[in-house]
Structures are given as C-alpha cells and as structure tokens.
C-alpha cells in the first residue's frame, strides 16, 4: 500500500532521500525501486528540476543516473508535446488507431473481474491508493486498446480519473503510444512477460500466447462486455469571496501547487477550480481530496470555484500564474520549471533527450 503524504516537508524529505542506485535495473518490476514522486510532480508542488537538483547536490553524476533522469525527461517531453499540439492530443495524434472496433471500457477490467489476477490486484490498488506502476499501466492499456480493440480515449480518462498523479499529457500520450497513434506501432506484452515483471505465474490466460498469435487476435470474450461507467467529478461547494484584500493575485490550480512560487510576494493566493476543466477531465473524489490536502501547504489560500473571468472581476491589481496548456488566463505568465529549456515539437523522445542532456552537461561545466 502506498501512502502519499500531503505535507510539504515530507515530500521534500522523499525527494532528498530517494535512492536512485537500483532504479535502472529494477524499474520495470512491479516491486522495483521507483520513486513514487509523480503525484507531487503532476500537481506542480515540485518539478522534475527539483528532483534532478537534489540528486546532483547529493553527488550523483548524470552518467550514473541517466536512466532515471531520462524518465524525468519523458515527463517534460510529453508536456512540451501538449504545449505544442494543445487540444489535438485529445484525438489520435499522428496515426489513426488501427483495428479499433469499439468505444467505451471493458467491464471485466474496470470492475476487477479479469481472468488475469494480477490485473485485478493492480486495478483494485489503483482505486484504493491512486497509484499504478508504469509497467502495469502499459499492460492494462495494451489489453484494453490492442487486445480488446477499444479506442484509447475513454480508457485514458478512466485511468486519469483515479490516478493521484493524473497528468493529461503523460496520460493521453502514453495511451496513444501504446495504441500506435504516435508511431504506428502497437505495444504488446504476453503473459510470460507479465509473469516475469510482476513475479507471478499465471497460465492459460488470453495473453498466454506467442507474440505471433497475439498479433492475430480477433476477439477475447471477456473484453466484449462494455462497462456502464460514468466519470463524475464531485463539485466542491465553497463561498467565493466578494472582494479580495490585496492588490495582486497569484493563481494556483490543479497543475500548480508550488508553495515556493513567488512566496515572498504580498498577494491574494487563490486556488482556482474551474468546473469547465474538471468536466472535461474529471477526477475522483479521492483524487480531489488529495489535491485539496496538498493545497494546504500554501498559506492563506482561498478556494475559488468558477471561471477565470469571474475571478478576474474581483481582482484589483496584477494577476500572476504559471504557464500551462489548460490555462486561458490573462496576466503575468511565469514559466513552469523543467529539466531544461528545450521546448517545441520533437518527432521522437530521443531527439528531445539529446538536446536536454547536452544542456544538463553544459550547465555542469
């Protein structure tokens, strides 16, 4: 069971005490030495840069922790793709999803009735803890999209709904990567692979086949029944203020909860919850509670539920916010922190990484 603390000092302790040495060798195993930092990075309470700086300060050299830093860079890469493509990441980006036959979600998986036990255990854990290991996310996504022939979009929304680290760029684009919408190649894993990385020994399942057989799959009975699943976010009720005390206003939101951001500035601190964002990308009650708990690290924060335009009417002075593709705010925009300043559209992660790594090495010299 993962208990994700919402206290800032605990989070910084986690960053500063993370032992990265076994990461490259063990990260693909369900019980491997991963960092569990994604809920904090996704909520913008810390950044990929915070994590990298902590490692460098502790004496690690980039060459010895490259795999881990590459994973941090994957996150920045997906973000830069979202910045570049905007809403286009909500549909098949580079290639249409091939052999797709249905929309919706398979009842067996999302209601924990799969004939593959380790899927049931992991999905139950997702509902309970709000976390799923990266390799399991890939297995579940490939089962839904490439075996069950479901379109990726609703399934991605379902996973995002339950993840404490829900980040629409990492989520939607990873689902698209699995479904072959980014590079026209579908990701498939068979039961032997799952058994190895999950340390189980399941036999005779629908995935217990050779890769050639799996590539020819037509239909799997247990994947055909659609779930009647509605993702509803529970609006929080709060009384919006009628006026604000200070001249300037800092906007925090689902993607920016950094208590260190402009912390010296005298300003109103507003947690802006725009219903239109959560209607489009709903989150579960559990995830909402975690988000609100994390926001308590920001002193004197006022929760405002409504559109930016309504908030703007209450503000006298300058409005400050951090850049994010979901924001259509007006005011002074600060950049988000990332590993490097590399931005824009890169057709492959490795082209992006090459530039990012060069910057990281240059900054060392």
Ligand X SMILES: Cc1cc2nc3c(=O)[nH]c(=O)nc-3n(C[C@H](O)[C@H](O)[C@H](O)COP(=O)(O)OP(=O)(O)OC[C@H]3O[C@@H](n4cnc5c(N)ncnc54)[C@H](O)[C@@H]3O)c2cc1C
Minimum separation from the CB atom of position 316 to ligand X (A): 36
Report the Cα–Cα distance between both ends of the chain, in Å, rounded: 42
Among 224, 223, 227, 279, which Cα is nearest to 254's? 279
171 binds ligand X (CB under 6 A): yes
Minimum separation from the CB atom of position 107 to ligand X (A): 19
Minimum separation from the CB atom of position 263 to ligand X (A): 23
Number of alpha helices (DSSP H) and beta strands (DSSP E) in the chain: 16, 5
340 binds ligand X (CB under 6 A): no
**Residues 145, 148, 151, 153, CA torsion sign:** negative
C-alpha span between 276 and 6 (Å, rounded): 26
Minimum separation from the CB atom of position 142 to ligand X (A): 9
Whole-angstrom CA distances from 124 to 70, 159, 229, 314 are: 29, 12, 16, 43
State which residue, 33 or 241, has the beta carbon closest to ligand X.
Answer: 33
45 binds ligand X (CB under 6 A): no
Phi and psi of 111, rounded to 5°?
-105, 20
Exactly one of 4, 8, 119, 175 binds ligand X (CB under 6 A); that residue is 175
With contacts defined by CB under 6 A, name the span among 156-164, 208-216, 243-251, 299-307 that binds ligand X: 156-164
Among positions 176-205, residues that touch ligand X (CB under 6 A) are: 178
In contact, 130 and 42? CB cutoff 8 Å: no
State which residue, 118 or 267, has the beta carbon closest to ligand X.
Answer: 118
Residue 182 neighbours by CB distance under 10 Å:
20
State which residue, 174 or 295, has the beta carbon closest to ligand X.
Answer: 174
148 binds ligand X (CB under 6 A): no
353 binds ligand X (CB under 6 A): no
C-alpha span between 20 and 334 (Å, rounded): 31
DSSP state of 102: B
With contacts defined by CB under 6 A, name the span among 37-45, 85-93, 109-117, 304-312 that binds ligand X: 37-45
137 binds ligand X (CB under 6 A): yes
Exactly one of 11, 30, 41, 110 binds ligand X (CB under 6 A); that residue is 41
| Degrees, nearest 5: CA angle 255-259-263 | 125
**Residues of the shown chain interacting with ligand X in the complex, contacts defined by CB under 6 A:** 27, 34-38, 41-42, 71-72, 74-75, 78, 134, 137-138, 141, 159-160, 163, 165-167, 170-171, 174-175, 178
């Amino acid at each position: 069971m993962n208990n994700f603390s919402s206290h800032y000092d605990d989070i910084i302790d986690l960053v500063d005490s993370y032992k990265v040495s076994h990461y490259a060798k063990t990260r693909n195993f369900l019980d491997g030495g991963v960092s569990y930092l994604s809920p904090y990075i996704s909520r913008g309470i810390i950044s990929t840069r915070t994590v990298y700086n902590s490692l460098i300060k502790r004496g690690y050299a980039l060459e010895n922790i490259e795999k881990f830093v590459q994973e941090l860079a994957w996150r920045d890469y997906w973000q830069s793709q979202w910045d570049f493509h905007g809403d286009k990441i909500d549909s098949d980006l580079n290639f249409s999803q091939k052999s797709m036959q249905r929309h919706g979600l398979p009842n067996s998986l999302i209601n924990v009735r799969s004939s593959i036990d380790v899927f049931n255990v992991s999905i139950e854990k997702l509902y309970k803890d709000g976390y799923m290991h990266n390799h399991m996310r890939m297995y579940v996504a490939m089962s839904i999209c490439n075996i069950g022939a479901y379109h990726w979009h609703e399934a991605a929304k379902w996973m995002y709904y339950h993840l404490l680290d829900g980040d629409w760029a990492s989520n939607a684009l990873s689902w698209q990567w699995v479904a072959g919408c980014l590079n026209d190649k579908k990701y498939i894993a068979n039961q032997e692979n799952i058994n190895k990385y999950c340390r189980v020994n399941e036999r005779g399942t629908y995935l217990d086949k050779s890769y050639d057989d799996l590539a020819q799959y037509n239909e799997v009975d247990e994947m055909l029944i659609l779930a009647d699943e509605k993702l509803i976010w529970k609006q929080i009720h709060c009384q919006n203020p009628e006026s604000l005390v200070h001249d300037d206003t800092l906007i925090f939101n689902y993607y920016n909860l950094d208590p260190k951001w402009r912390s010296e500035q005298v300003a109103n601190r507003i947690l802006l919850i725009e219903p239109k964002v959560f209607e489009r990308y709903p989150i579960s009650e559990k995830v909402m509670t975690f988000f609100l708990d994390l926001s308590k690290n920001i002193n004197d924060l006022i929760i405002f539920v409504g559109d930016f335009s309504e908030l703007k009417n209450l503000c006298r002075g300058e409005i400050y916010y951090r850049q994010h593709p979901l924001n259509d705010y007006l005011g002074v925009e600060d950049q988000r922190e990332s590993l490097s300043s590399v931005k824009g559209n890169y057709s492959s992660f490795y082209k992006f990484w090459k530039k990012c790594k060069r910057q990281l090495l240059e900054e060392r010299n």
